[in-house]
């Protein structure tokens, strides 16, 4: 009986230490959405159970190895056991009940996370190698996701190329984007701040760079930002360079090409127009309209030196007028 008492106490102590140790080592990001609350609650329940099971297995095993080891001089056989029917029935029924209980709790948790608000803000999300595009109900398009705090958003998501996965760790929830399909994810932000959406599905060579800002603000600040975006969209639609800038944002060009001279997956567009471009075959070419048009239509025709191992995406949906607008925008980057 003394052995059972000691093991029982040790199991409780080790379980508590394991629980708090994991919490310290694997600190969760801040809860920034309503959906994060039930998810973290369920995680905490599972962590308690896992810590207890860990202690329940490890403590008796280590205790037995130390206390009941064969000591020096002992040559006899250990006591023979045929089995224990009650114990076998117990370790079958108890885990079964535990699994059913966790399944029931998990189903309720999932229902809570996916509960729909009929007044939710709808945002269309497109995943592009290797960027994000967010389109609001009024037609505003941005590569940053701006949302008002306390308002549920219904993200209707798809991909233009391969499978991506929308994930903001502070929101906890995650959803795949599949080409040719619309998947949904509902989020209710609860904490004003700046976060990042990242792709959680290996999607190509620049998967790790597929990040964009997620900005949660008050409703009034969100309305101000939205009014500014509407005004900018109306102004941009009147000029070729404005339309080109919108096309660049809508097609994820900034995922590979910077506009400020910083290094990227592809050559920077800053001061590109009219410059001398060194190619991988050792020759140079002037970045005039013909070169830029060819680079958009047939990106592998002339490879810029230093980018031999990069594969630029080809946008067959762009018309000649679209390409001319993009080139007009590139010319403004001085």
Res. 300 pLDDT band, cuts 50 70 90: confident
Q: What percent of the chain has pLDDT over 70?
A: 95
pLDDT at residue 160, as a whole number: 85
Distance CA 148, CA 191 (A): 10
Q: From 158, 327, 141, 156, select the one nearest 244 (Cα to Cα).
A: 327
pLDDT at residue 185, as a whole number: 93
Does residue 191 register a pLDDT over 90? yes
Does residue 59 register a pLDDT over 80? yes
Res. 187 pLDDT band, cuts 50 70 90: very high
Distances (CA, A) of 35 to 27, 32, 102, 276: 18, 9, 19, 52
Q: Domain-by-domain residue ranges, the chain?
A: 2-65+87-113, 121-234, 237-331
Distances (CA, A) of 331 to 58, 68, 194: 67, 81, 32
pLDDT at residue 311, as a whole number: 67
Helical segments of 26-149, H only: 36-67, 85-113
Q: pTM of the entire structure? A: 0.71
Helix, strand, coil fractions of the chain, as percent rounded to 5: 45, 20, 35
pLDDT at residue 35, as a whole number: 92
User: For the chain, what is the mean pLDDT?
Assistant: 85
pLDDT at residue 315, as a whole number: 67
Res. 196 pLDDT band, cuts 50 70 90: very high
DSSP annotation of 282: S
CB-CB contact of 144 with 175 (8 Å): no
Element (H, E) at 250: helix 240-250
pLDDT in tens, 252-269: 777 678 777 777 777 888
Which fold, 121-234?
Answer: Immunoglobulin-like (2.60.40)
| Domain 237-331 indexed as CATH 1.10.3720.10 | no
Mean pLDDT to the nearest integer, 15-41: 89
State the burial class of residue 260 (Cβ atoms within 10 Å of its Cβ: 0-12, 13-18, 19+).
exposed
Element (H, E) at 217: strand 211-217
């Amino acid at each position: 009986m003394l052995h059972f008492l000691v093991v029982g106490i040790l199991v409780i102590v080790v379980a508590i230490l394991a629980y708090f140790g994991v919490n310290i080592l694997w600190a969760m990001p801040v809860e920034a959405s309503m959906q994060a609350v039930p998810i973290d609650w369920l995680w905490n329940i599972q962590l308690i159970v896992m810590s207890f099971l860990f202690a329940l297995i490890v403590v008796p095993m280590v205790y037995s190895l130390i206390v009941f080891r064969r000591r020096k001089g002992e040559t006899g056989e250990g006591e023979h056991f045929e089995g224990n029917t009650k114990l076998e029935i117990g370790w079958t029924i108890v885990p079964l009940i535990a699994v059913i209980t966790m399944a029931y709790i998990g189903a309720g948790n999932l229902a809570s996370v996916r509960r729909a608000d009929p007044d939710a803000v709808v945002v269309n999300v497109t995943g592009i190698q290797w960027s994000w595009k967010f389109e609001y109900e009024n037609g505003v398009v941005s590569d940053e996701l701006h949302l008002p705090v306390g308002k549920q958003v219904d993200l209707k998501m798809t991909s233009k190329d391969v499978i991506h996965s929308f994930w903001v760790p502070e929101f906890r929830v995650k959803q795949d984007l599949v080409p040719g399909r619309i998947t949904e994810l509902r989020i209710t932000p609860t904490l004003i701040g700046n976060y990042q959406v990242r792709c959680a599905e290996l999607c190509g060579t620049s998967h790790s760079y597929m990040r964009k800002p997620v900005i949660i603000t008050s409703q009034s600040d969100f309305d101000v930002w939205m009014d500014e975006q509407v005004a900018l969209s109306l102004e941009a639609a009147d000029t070729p360079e404005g339309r080109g800038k919108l096309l660049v944002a809508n097609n994820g060009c900034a995922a590979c090409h910077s506009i400020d001279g910083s290094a990227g997956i592809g050559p920077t567009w800053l001061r590109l127009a009219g410059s001398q471009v060194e190619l991988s075959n050792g020759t140079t070419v002037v970045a005039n309209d013909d070169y830029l048009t060819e680079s958009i239509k047939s990106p592998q025709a002339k490879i810029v030196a230093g980018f031999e191992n990069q594969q630029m995406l080809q946008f067959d949906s762009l018309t000649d007028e679209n390409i001319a607008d993009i080139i007009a925008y590139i010319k403004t980057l001085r």
